[in-house]
Amino acid sequence: MQKLALLAGLCLIAAQPGSTARLVCQYASHSDLRDGTSQFHIADIDGDLCTHLIYSSVCIDSLFNISATATQLQNFGAFTALSGPKLKKILDVNLMVEKAIVQNMMATSANRDAFIMSAVSFLRTHQFDGINILWVNENKQDNKALYTSLIEEFRVKMDAESLASGKAALLLTASVAAQIPAIEWSYEVPQIAAAVDFLNVRTSDVDFPTATPSFSTPTASFNMAATSMQYWEFKGAPAAKLNMGIGVFGEVFTVDARGNVEPLKGSLSDVPPGLWARYEVCSLLGRSAAPHLWIAFDNKAAIDAKVNYIVNNSYGGAFVMSVDLDDFNGNSCNNANDLNGPYPVITHLHKQLAN
């Protein structure tokens, strides 16, 4: 007997359009290397939908300079040339890789200064509007104070550069953990919240498993994301600086008759097994379900619930991961009872938040 579990979300009255919340959208720069119709290019991005676009991502080298591939350097111009009524283009620097280099960079004021000044110059050269820092203290060492120093010094140096150059100040944002233990061992919340323009809380994947799904109910899954937002606020982050993560991906697993769970690999080689793009989920729902198939994704009701939560709690906006995983050409999500058309999730969020 086939089993198909569709985990939707809470059904609440949608927020009224016309609010001015942020809609921050991440773009995975490697998505142009995907196969066939999954290949996504900068030209596919609709600049009118999001208030901020984050180019993900670049790293740093042993001299604490931003390190980008030749292809990325070639593509920066097309990305920063994107336009929209409110659009700001931000470069994501991933401090979760090259961990020895990152640790060395954070260790001293001189090394942090070298990275910051290099980054500011890089942003100006390539005409980005700001920088987004991705970092979580995964090894649980006491690096909180060093990370705080990095963020605070970024703010001081960026403001000084703006004053000296007469140019608008660069934006400083950060993508941060949603899991409460990781928040505790990674961040001095009041200090970093005071220094950044906003924080992207990664609640889109707060419950994404590494091997097996949690099988949490829609209410439980929603509550975990809400709890993360509340915890950031409790620890001292102003609500207006917090963006709630909303994913445009789904989770797909098989469960056999004995209860053995296996993540089902989708067509994208660059994402973990069990994680499927929105257009893959829609295509899967349009076919006969495989035996014992478990699918979880945010439908319209779930997204409306999150939008209501953002608006009703005066949070800054939504953080979407990522534009290249939405049904960007509108060919797959054609269910009249749910979201459809090009960029169905992001377009809906735009109507609710960013008008």
Give the closest residue to 131 by CA, choosing from 205, 57, 43, 21: 57
Q: Measure the N-to-C terminal CA separation of the chain; round to a whole number of Å.
A: 46
- Return the CA Rg of the chain: 20
**pLDDT attached to residue 88:** 98
Spell out the residues 6+ positions from residue 186 whose beta carbon is closer than 8 angstroms to its own. Answer: 135, 136, 137, 143, 144, 147, 176, 177
Angle at 242 between CA 174 and CA 305, to 5 degrees: 130
CATH superfamily, domain 18-249+302-354, is: Glycosidases (3.20.20.80)
How many residues in total does the chain contain?
355
| CB-based contact 186:147 (threshold 8 Å) | yes
Predicted pLDDT at 13? 33
Strands 130-134 and 88-94, by their bridges, are: parallel
The torsion angle over the Cα atoms of residues 95, 98, 104 and 105, rounded to 10 degrees, is -40
Distance of CA 10 to the CA centre of its chain: 22
Q: What is the mean pLDDT of each run of 10 residues along the chain (355 residues)?
A: 32 41 96 94 97 97 96 97 95 95 96 98 98 90 91 98 97 96 95 98 66 53 88 98 93 83 89 91 74 81 91 96 95 84 96 81
Q: How many angstroms separate the CA atoms of 117 and 29, rounded?
A: 24
Nearest Cα to Cα of residue 249 among 222, 282, 223: 282
Closest CA to 138 of 168, 107, 183: 183
Between helices 99-107 and 144-165, what is the axis angle to 10°?
70
CB count in 10 Å sphere of residue 201: 26
Q: Tell me, what's the pLDDT at 289?
A: 56
Q: What is the largest CA-CA distance in the chain?
A: 69
**Domain residue spans of the chain:** 18-249+302-354
HSE (side-chain half, CA atoms, 13 Å) at 134: 19
Q: Record the tokens describing residue 144, joined without a space.
A: 């909180």
- Return left, alpha or beta for 166; rule: phi > 0 is left, psi -120 to 50 is alpha, else beta: left
Q: Which of helix, strand or coil describes residue 229?
A: helix
The confidence score (pLDDT) of residue 251 equals 86
